[in-house]
């Protein structure tokens, strides 16, 4: 009986984070993306609520960005990595290939193998990849101190925080495979030239989204049939039938309509 049961038992997917800097796990822990309080998102939700309350019932009001399913779902995926320590980046407009930096402590005294802020030279990426004109040609590398492990069924998409509260930097994309990598170091495209910027501890640096390691999706591209046209028309009806969309009802209806593949 036990042997038969084990054939159908699936190990739960897990991700474990530890930091080599003592105290970071308490003061600036890894958090679920859905739990991070982005200021602009809160303002958008308040603005929508205020606008809705002050509008006439027959006014066409779908909702603000805070009610967008695409953005809302993205905020619910994965984890946010934040800066464990304050750091300052200073740039000069005449030299886009370098920067100066400072932070309040030497992380090597706390067990990390390298300095807190490093860089990737212009020869590594901007020599080949077109950068935005407002961006340093070298990358700012933050050694967060975080080490990651997970069950082997997943890898992690490391990506920029998609809708941050600032326009100072953008994290580089990449994949973290815990079978081959444990460090979480965040490379930043820096967008403030000829400036001196303080990034406070706790500022989101990047988002990690778990992805099924062995996900294999069949790609189908074909001409729309009658059912596809019906679904498209029905979805448009569900999306526009109310002046003020009831999101719960809308999502329940579209789930029934679209789950037909």
What share of the chain has pLDDT > 70, as a percent? Answer: 91
Q: How confident is the model at residue 86 (pLDDT cuts 50, 70, 90)?
A: very high
Distances from the Cα of 56 to the Cαs of 52, 53, 242, in angstroms? 8, 8, 13
Say whether pLDDT at 76 is over 90: no
pLDDT at 85 over 70: yes
Which fold does the domain 80-212 belong to in CATH? Deoxyuridine 5'-Triphosphate Nucleotidohydrolase; Chain A (2.70.40)
**CA-CA-CA-CA torsion sign (179, 83, 30, 72):** negative
pLDDT, greater one: 257 or 102: 102
Per domain, the residue ranges of the chain are 27-74, 80-212, 226-258
Helix 247-258 to helix 226-240 angle (10° resolution) is 180
Q: How far apart are CA 109 and CA 193, in angstroms?
A: 31
């Amino acid at each position: 009986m036990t042997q038969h049961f084990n054939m159908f038992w699936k190990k739960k997917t897990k991700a474990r984070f530890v930091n080599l800097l003592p105290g970071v796990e308490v003061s600036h822990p890894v958090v679920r993306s859905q739990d991070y309080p982005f200021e602009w998102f809160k303002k958008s939700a308040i603005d929508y609520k205020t606008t809705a309350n002050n509008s006439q019932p027959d006014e066409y009001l779908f909702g603000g960005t805070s009610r967008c399913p695409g953005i809302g779902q993205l905020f619910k995926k994965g984890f946010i990595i934040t800066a464990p320590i304050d750091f300052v980046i200073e740039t000069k407009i005449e030299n886009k290939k370098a920067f100066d930096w400072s932070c309040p402590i030497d992380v090597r005294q706390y067990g990390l193998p390298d300095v807190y802020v490093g860089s990737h030279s212009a020869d590594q990426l901007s020599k080949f990849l077109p950068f935005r004109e407002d961006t340093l040609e070298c990358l700012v590398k933050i050694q967060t101190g975080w080490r990651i492990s997970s069950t082997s069924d997943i890898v992690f998409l490391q990506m920029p925080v998609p809708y941050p509260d600032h326009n100072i930097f953008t994290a580089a994309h990449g994949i973290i495979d815990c079978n081959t990598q444990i460090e979480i170091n965040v490379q930043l495209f820096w967008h403030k030239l000829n400036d001196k910027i303080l990034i406070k501890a706790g500022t989101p640096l990047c988002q990690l989204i778990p992805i099924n390691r062995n996900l294999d999706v069949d790609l189908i591209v074909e001409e729309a049939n009658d059912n596809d046209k019906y679904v498209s028309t029905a979805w448009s009806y569900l999306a526009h039938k109310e002046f003020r969309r009831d999101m719960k009802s809308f999502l329940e209806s579209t789930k029934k309509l679209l789950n037909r593949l």
